[in-house]
Structure 1
Amino acid sequence: MALPTLPTPTGPHPVGTTSIHLADVSRPDPWVTHVPTRELMISVWYPTARPAGPRAPYLTRAESERVLAGQEAIAPDSLSSVRTHAFPDAPLAPGPGRLPLIVLSPGFTRPRASLTSIAEDLASHGYVAVAIDHTHETAATAFPDGRVAAFALGGSPRTPEFWRKVKTGRARDASFVLDQLLGGDPPWAGAARLAPDRIGMAGHSAGGAATIAAMVADERIRAGADVDGSTDPLIPDTGLDRPFLFLGREGQYSPGDGPAADTWARDWPLLTGWKRWLVVAGAKHPSFTDLGLLADQLGMPLGATTSGSRTMTITRTCLRAFFDRHLRDAGHPSFDHLTAEHPEVRTCRPPGLPADSGWR
């Protein structure tokens, strides 16, 4: 069987990548009380002009085995052989301009690698994308010294307080990563090229909901997107006036679909800047990540009627158009023509709101 492969990035630039270990000595780990420092692994994807050598690995064998634990129909190391399109430690493409930065937060239990297709595509269009492993919330996080931090929350009751802690903790992780990249001694040589006034964030599931928490806490994040994640009531009564995109699956996040969609309807009036609410027909929850298209390739389809590769095409296109509009001042048609070009996508308005409500 052919090796599982991520979709080719659509932009004009080859893509470089690097992984970085960060340690926040100002706070203990929120989940493992005896660990005095919050340690994180991040991956950075960026445009390069000199691609060379082998492609970057997707996951280590140890990470793959833990992510696939319980999936008896798939070889445990299957995700360590996924073909990516980025070149490890290739130099950042030269140029005088500053580059917009997108922070990416994966779903609960999912590794940062699950957003690689999105990150590679953004980097191929001239963005820098940074995905965070939220340690102990994911199945496994491998550190450079050989340690592998395991998922530590199997016995935690899934109460509203638990999920709020997840989302607000991820917001702190995101702000710490920004502090490191934008500070005086950044851990990545390309950080001097980052545009501090053009920062966005997007995430899947809990990572999407954490994007709201991060924007409320950190005004550096100028635009945000929640992909298929139900939210907590974190937006203050004064509202959140920066651009925001909801992108989810039809049947779960269409207005009136139930508790998950109700969280978006609750937040909608409090989003006082530019906003859109899109749903995708035929998608399942993992369809918006690499796991949807890899499941198709590995012979374990998710039951979606829209393929994983097609949903990833839609996800990459919508996110890039959103950030182009709000971090690069791209023209209006770059976003609002998407629904015409992608018939699986439907634009929603919560019931009871006037037709022109919130459209800026």
Structure 2
Amino acid sequence: MTRNRRISAVAALALAALVTGTGAGFAATTTASATPVGTHAFPIAPAAATGTATAPTRSFHGALPAPTGPYAAGEDVIHLTDTSRPDPWVPSSGPRRLTVTMVYPAVPGTGTPAPYMTLAEAAGVLQRQKVPASSGVTPQSLSSVTTHAFDGARPQHGKHPLVVLSPAYENPRMTLTSLATDLASHGYVVALVGDTNGDSGETLADGRTPPCAICDDPALDFDSVATSRARDVSFTIDQLTHGTTAWRLAHLIDKRRIGMAGHSLGGAAAAATMIADPRVLAGVNMDGTFHPDPMPGQINRPFLMLGTAANTDWERPWAALGGYKKWLTVAGADHFSFSDLDLLHEEAGYPTPPLAPERAIVITREYVTAFFDQTLKGIDRPLLDGPSPNNPEVLFQP
């Protein structure tokens, strides 16, 4: 089993545990406790690997933390079709179709609360994790997570840098919502790009929500997945920077200032996109194995690596990166600390890693925002200069 396959298996257990907060149990597997460096397991119960994890008997009412910036977070969901290429995972389905969540700086008090995901996307998660109907869990319990984003909110005036976000393998784009809303509140336009047919489900323009077509492929080449996502991102940037046909608020985007961040395989996609697309001026990899490792000279623009303390898979990529770069590790974090999953898991009553999920989100937001402030806005952020007494968990690597 490859690194990313182990990560996917553990992520599946985490999501399954999350959405079964009313009492369904799941068996822990040995892969959840024996993952290699850089692919830390998410323990669904403090039981032995061969035991059964019993879900807590309490209702799940998930809520993400509120944004910390001066603006509210507006949200639109757009649908794009790339007629220049077929879908890479299901070519017979026609051209590549994408669902993208746009999060933007908005005027507080405008718009209506945005759902975490559509009912069909939530149902896709339930189906992917084989959650039994007897558990009593419905798509509403997942789709209704409080996001602090607002549909149709009135935008702030001016031009704002664009940051593209890419989630972990098999995870829907919404698992990076807490980061997206916070970036928007600090003056960024954010595009969360889903991997149609490559995750638990993205609701398309025609109302379909196709399941994952590649998640059970034991021979899947993760280099090809990262490359495909890079193509999706470049196409999305094309659409967002040429008029307002793709998105009614595209005039908010400063075309000269574009960055990208990703979690796990999404972090690999950020590097792959930077190699292929010079418009992406700065990148962030949050605890993802590179696919493939960049070669010297391929990435000479700013790059941040933010990950777990035990991650040594980054030594070769680090040496190959040119230009401004930072490698930060977070003590007590696990692989899912850099997304919404640990927090939602905690709210569902499950054990969490040594670093509290709320604290992990604070750290992720602060350092990712500081990095883009410095590299895209030209604002000096001393937070990136070295260790901070306010963030003792964050360690600066060579």
- Which residues of 2 match residues 143-292 of structure 1 at below 5 A? 143-158=204-219, 162-251=221-310, 253=311, 261-262=312-313, 264-292=314-342
Read off the aligned partner of 2:94 and give its amino acid letter. P
On the 8 A contact 1:16/1:87 being kept in 2, the answer is yes
Percent sequence identity is 44
On the 8 A contact 2:367/2:383 being kept in 1, the answer is no
Query: Residues of 2 paired with 1:238 and 1:16: CA distance?
Result: 38
Aligned to 1:356: none
On the 8 A contact 2:243/2:251 being kept in 1, the answer is no
Deviation at 1:75, TM superposition (A): 2.5
Deviation at 1:236, TM superposition (A): 3.5
**Structure 1 stretch displaced more, 4-13 or 63-72:** 63-72
Q: 1:139 to 1:338 in 2, by over 3 A?
A: farther
TM-score by length of 2: 0.80
Q: 1:74 to 1:208 in 2, by over 3 A?
A: farther
Aligned to 1:126: 187
Query: Residues of 2 paired with 1:235 and 1:2: CA distance?
Result: 41
Structure 1 residue runs of 5 or longer lacking an equivalent are 254-260, 350-360
Q: Equivalent of 2:369, from 320, 344, 348? A: 320
Aligned to 2:114: 56
Deviation at 1:16, TM superposition (A): 0.6
Aligned to 1:346: 395
Structure 2 residue runs of 5 or longer lacking an equivalent are 1-58
Aligned to 1:33: 91
- Which residues of 2 match residues 80-95 of structure 1 at below 5 A? 80-95=143-158
SS in 2 for 1:46: strand
Query: Residues of 1 paired with 2:60 and 2:93: CA distance?
Result: 42
Read off the aligned partner of 1:87 and give its amino acid letter. F
Query: Residues of 2 paired with 1:158 and 1:41: CA distance?
Result: 26
On the 8 A contact 2:373/2:381 being kept in 1, the answer is no
1:238-278 deviations in Å (ceiling 9; x for gaps): 34110000011122x1xxxxxxx23x111112111111111
On the 8 A contact 1:115/1:289 being kept in 2, the answer is yes
**What is the count of residue pairs matched by the alignment?**
335
Deviation at 1:298, TM superposition (A): 1.0
* 1:107 aligned onto 2:157: no
Read off the aligned partner of 1:84 and give its amino acid letter. T
Read off the aligned partner of 2:350 and give its amino acid letter. M
Deviation at 1:122, TM superposition (A): 0.4
On the 8 A contact 1:213/1:234 being kept in 2, the answer is no
Read off the aligned partner of 1:89 and give its amino acid letter. G
* 1:296 aligned onto 2:346: yes
Q: Equivalent of 2:385, from 333, 336, 341? A: 336
RMSD of the alignment, in Å?
Answer: 1.8
Moved over 6 A (4+): none
Deviation at 1:50, TM superposition (A): 5.4
Read off the aligned partner of 1:138 and give its amino acid letter. D
TM-score by length of 1: 0.88
SS in 2 for 1:140: coil
